[in-house]
């Protein structure tokens, strides 16, 4: 869920080049337990963009605390995260309150919603509702029904969407999930811990200008995720490989379109509110964030495909479906949140 924290921060004048304390662990005024980075990752004063690439929990908990959990939830809802689950349960809140922990994936999210919301970033801040059927034809090829998707509605400044995309553009290489032929892609891994020895949810969500796809790996009962060899599953692992294979296949032959190569918003409103217990070292980091609920996607590759989502020159993609994959506009996937 870290990209939505970045979007909320950008809307408050905090650019992706702003520096934050990425040391671990850190304590915060609104939380008793310290926040830790996955796999011991740290950085004493890295940029928001670098912290996103390395998925440093301490940076994004602190940033969510600074901008406010409600602001993060608001931008996420505008982008396409549903305001409530099918059973009517409100999303991104507990007892009516959205905590700073939204910055590290505290709340359940469906894959279809992740693909949908990331498609909004791909489309330059224009949100389009996802749909499942793009066309129906009879046995003779006569088109009986056609749906090209809604025109969409701007829900955030184009500069905000552009900078979020730019901030996500190094993750694929960092996670070893690059697309074929060097195709540019923006993505985010996510891993939710079950306990100190196991993970329960793992995500990979990402997009090109034509296609947004979300992959969730998990269970309905929050069981430990292990590979066939008994190793822990992380977002950059199994979900990342599924996402990578699907994106390569779905985009084969499609035009290779560029992503933003620089930040448009510059600014910073101050330091984070955390207190490091270790001081700031330098190191590497991994992934951890997300909380996912398997609702209507539990298939590994929850994705939403491009039919409906092809970006247009100006406002990018339109949504489409498939496996929980959301083409720049939006599509379907499975579960928690990266």
Euclidean distance between CA atoms 117 and 109, whole angstroms: 11
* Geometric angle at alpha carbon 118, from 115 and 124, rounded to 5°: 140
- Of 186, 193, 194, nearest in space to 214 by CA: 186
| For residue 29, cis peptide bond before it (omega within 30 degrees of 0) | no
Q: Does domain 2-309 have CATH number 3.40.710.10?
A: yes
Cβ pair 99, 106 in contact under 8 A: yes
pLDDT over 60 at 325, yes or no:
no
DSSP string for residues in 68-82: -HHHHHHHHHHHT--
* Geometric angle at alpha carbon 86, from 124 and 135, rounded to 5°: 55
Euclidean distance between CA atoms 54 and 40, whole angstroms: 11
Mind listing the pLDDT tens digit for each residue in 142-201? Answer: 999 999 888 999 999 999 999 999 999 999 999 999 999 999 999 999 999 888 889 999
Q: Which of 133-137, 181-185, 187-191, 333-337 has the lowest mean pLDDT?
A: 333-337
- Of 108, 53, 28, nearest in space to 76 by CA: 108
Residue 40's pLDDT is 83
Cα 322 versus chain centre, distance = 18
Mind listing the pLDDT tens digit for each residue in 212-226? Answer: 999 999 999 999 999
pTM: 0.81
Cβ pair 95, 64 in contact under 8 A: no
Q: By three-state DSSP, how is residue 40 classified?
A: helix
Q: By three-state DSSP, how is residue 249 classified?
A: helix
Task: Enumerate the domain spans of the chain.
Answer: 2-309
**Kind and range of the H or E element at 61?**
helix 57-67
Mind listing the pLDDT tens digit for each residue in 271-318? Answer: 444 555 443 333 333 333 333 333 333 333 444 433 333 333 333 343
The token duo for 305 is: 């495909």
The token duo for 156 is: 């955030």
pLDDT over 80 at 19, yes or no:
yes
Cβ pair 83, 270 in contact under 8 A: no
Cβ neighbour number for residue 70 with a 10 Å cutoff? 15
The token duo for 22 is: 């990425």
């Amino acid at each position: 869920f870290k990209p939505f924290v970045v979007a909320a921060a950008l809307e408050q004048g905090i650019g992706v080049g702003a520096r934050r304390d990425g040391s671990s662990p850190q304590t915060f005024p609104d939380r008793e337990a310290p926040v830790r980075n996955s796999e011991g990752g740290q950085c004493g004063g890295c940029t928001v963009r670098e912290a996103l690439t390395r998925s440093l929990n301490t940076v994004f908990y602190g940033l969510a605390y600074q901008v406010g959990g409600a602001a993060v939830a608001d931008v996420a809802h505008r982008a396409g995260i549903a305001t409530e689950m099918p059973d009517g349960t409100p999303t991104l809140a507990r007892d009516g309150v959205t905590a700073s922990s939204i910055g590290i994936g505290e709340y359940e999210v469906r894959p279809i919603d992740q693909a949908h919301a990331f498609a909004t970033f791909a489309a330059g801040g224009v949100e389009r509702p996802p749909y499942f059927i793009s066309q129906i034809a009879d046995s003779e090829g006569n088109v009986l029904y056609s749906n090209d998707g809604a025109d969409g509605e701007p829900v955030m400044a184009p500069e905000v969407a552009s900078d979020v995309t730019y901030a996500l553009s190094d993750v694929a290489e960092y996670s070893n999930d690059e697309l074929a032929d060097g195709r540019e892609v923006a993505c985010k891994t996510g891993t939710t811990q079950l306990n100190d020895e196991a993970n329960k949810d793992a995500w990979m969500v990402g997009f090109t200008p034509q296609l947004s796809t979300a992959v969730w790996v998990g269970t309905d009962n929050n069981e430990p995720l292990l590979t066939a060899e008994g190793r822990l599953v992380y977002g950059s692992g199994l979900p990342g490989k599924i996402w990578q294979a699907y994106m390569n296949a779905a985009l084969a032959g499609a035009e290779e379109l560029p992503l933003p190569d620089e930040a448009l918003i510059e600014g910073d409103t101050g330091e984070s509110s955390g207190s490091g217990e270790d001081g700031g070292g330098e190191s590497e980091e991994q992934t951890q964030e997300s909380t996912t609920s398997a609702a209507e996607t539990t298939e590994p590759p929850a994705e939403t495909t491009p039919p409906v989502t092809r970006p247009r020159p100006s406002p990018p993609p339109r949504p489409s479906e498939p496996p929980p994959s959301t083409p720049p506009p939006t599509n379907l996937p499975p579960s928690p949140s990266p």
